[in-house]
Structure 1
Amino acid sequence: MTLYTKTMGSGPVLLFIVGGNGDSTVFEGVAAQLADRYKVVLYDRAGFARSPVDAVPADKLAADVEDARALLADEPGYVFGSSSGAIVTLELLAKHPSVVLKAVPHEPPLISLLPDRDERLAEMDEVYQLYRTDGPEAAMGLFGKVVGLAQQAPPPGFELPPAMREMMGRSKHNVPFWFDHEFVPYPRHVPDLAALAAAKDQLVLACGDESRGLVAYRPNVVLSERLGLDLVEFPGDHVGYARRPVEFAARLHEVLSSAGTA
């Protein structure tokens, strides 16, 4: 297996871990803003279109963690992960704190932590069953309603950049792969709170300021209460890094700089 990677800039390593679409193109706008201060490393997680695998491991989350750790093998680095990638980021910090300077999990959908988890997981199971019967397009429509993800129409005359158009083409593989291998187990994962508490000085719990009250926002609220950490808001919603990259990058640099090592 060979992971698709893209590196830009110089400075301390900043690794981005992508969510359920599995395609690191979504981070390129933020990465371009930060490449003058960091060695930015983007990669597509194993099994998604540009990082094909012959077989998916039984414990895919553990394998995702080991891939991220391997990308930080040469030197410890900062890690930003969003959505499913935020779950990987939390696990990386819990299992390998020595390779992480600062971990920034952005809206990890750890429904297992929520007081109403049974109800929320039942909704997710309904989405998954719709995927099995009617396919990914129908399931994504219901998923957006269940989790409150806005479908914003582009302005008149707007055209996607070529890289984004290519990414959309890869979604024909990436979305079904996400449903088949992550959609059910990742939200049910129970993080190691003791390990995270031991490494909490390296942890920034990030959420979008437009996501308050939504499913993906709430797990970090629970973690903030259990770990005694402040919740740190970033510009935008669940994909604020793609929709507001300039502001998002500025906020991320501010957060990482406060660690005293950037």
Structure 2
Amino acid sequence: MSTPTTGRLRVDGATLHYEVRGEGPPLLLIPGGTGGAASFDGVADMLAAEYTVASYDPRGLSRSPLDDPQAQQRVARHADDAFRLLDLLSPDAPARVVGCSSGAIVALHMLTERPERLERVVAHEPPVVEVLPDAAEHRAMLARVQETFHRDGLLPAAAEFAAALRRPGDPAPAPVELPPQARARAERTMADMPYFLGSIVPSFMAYAPDLDRLEALKHRLVLAAGADSHGELPYRPAACLAERFGTGLVHFPGGHTGLTTHPAEFGDMLRKVLAA
């Protein structure tokens, strides 16, 4: 694995840690969950053979501290951070953007806000539950998770949230043997879970994308989901939007976390989708 060039970017209310690899057209990778830039370590080198690959720790996570740790988080502010990074690294050329999970929500907002800056967007399982016909049920679930978080703490709330993401009736998954790098990363990012569950999840999963705007830009949008996550909650919005827009849903190896569990196959699929 190559060593990326790293930098710090001052934005409104935070300082972002970012990493850059390779040469070629600009490609911005937006992580989901608490993974940060390191979540793309398994695919970044492969993509850097063809692109200038940039990723970063979103504000409040890992190496991107907030000025005010209690500040409310909004999708639009996170999208502005991503644009500021693009403007720094690629002020002229339109970029390709890949977002996973909560990062995919940011990518969708970017496309609706400044489409002239984006050549193509790959959104892998954005949990925009407001597009679903049963959105009210998921709003109630998110409220229950927050109640549990504030009453009982992180672990009970995280367990309740994870159960809500699974297919109805599915048991909790057995532990998965992760690659060594992924295991070390999982241990490091547990420290960010209170911030993610308490600040990112309720705000991001309440986000309602501009569907008319997205449909008008669907030729630049690739909606993607895990081959193994059919029927799980994060899968459903991508499938719903693909059906609404008539674009088809691109299946990637693995499930919602296929980037971590199947990095080589996930990266190969990304190369194909980005080049199409």
1:67 to 53, 74, 81: 81
Residue of structure 2 equivalent to 1:52 = 65
Q: How far did 1:226 drift? A: 2.1
Deviates more, 1:176-185 or 1:3-12: 176-185
Residue of structure 1 equivalent to 2:190 = 171
| C-alpha RMSD of matched pairs (Å) | 1.9
**What do residues 165-219 of structure 1 show as CA deviations (whole Å, max 9, x unaligned)?**
25523421x1111122221121121101122122111100010010101100110
For the 8 Å contact 1:81–1:89, the answer to whether it is kept is yes
Q: Gapped runs of 5+ residues in structure 1?
A: none
Deviates more, 1:27-36 or 1:231-240: 27-36
TM-score by length of 1: 0.90
Q: Partners in 2 of 1:220 and 1:18 — Cα distance?
A: 17
Q: Partners in 1 of 2:144 and 2:71 — Cα distance?
A: 25
Instruction: Report 1:113-124 matches (<5 A).
Output: 113-124=131-142
Matched, 1:153 2:178: no
For the 8 Å contact 2:149–2:198, the answer to whether it is kept is no
Residue of structure 1 equivalent to 2:126 = 108
- The total of aligned residue pairs comes to 254
Instruction: Report 1:182-221 matches (<5 A).
Output: 182-221=200-239
Q: Partners in 1 of 2:249 and 2:95 — Cα distance?
A: 21
Residue of structure 2 equivalent to 1:34 = 47
Deviates more, 1:56-65 or 1:90-99: 56-65
- Classify 1:112/1:12 alpha carbon distance in 2 versus 1 (closer, same or farther; 3 Å): same
For the 8 Å contact 2:72–2:199, the answer to whether it is kept is no
TM-score by length of 2: 0.86
Q: Which amino acid is the alignment partner of residue 205 of structure 1?
A: L
Residue of structure 2 equivalent to 1:14 = 27
Q: Gapped runs of 5+ residues in structure 2?
A: 1-13
Residue of structure 2 equivalent to 1:89 = 107
Q: Partners in 1 of 2:24 and 2:148 — Cα distance?
A: 46
- Classify 1:18/1:159 alpha carbon distance in 2 versus 1 (closer, same or farther; 3 Å): closer
Q: Partners in 2 of 1:246 and 1:170 — Cα distance?
A: 22
Q: Which amino acid is the alignment partner of residue 78 of structure 2?
A: D
Q: Which amino acid is the alignment partner of residue 100 of structure 1?
A: L
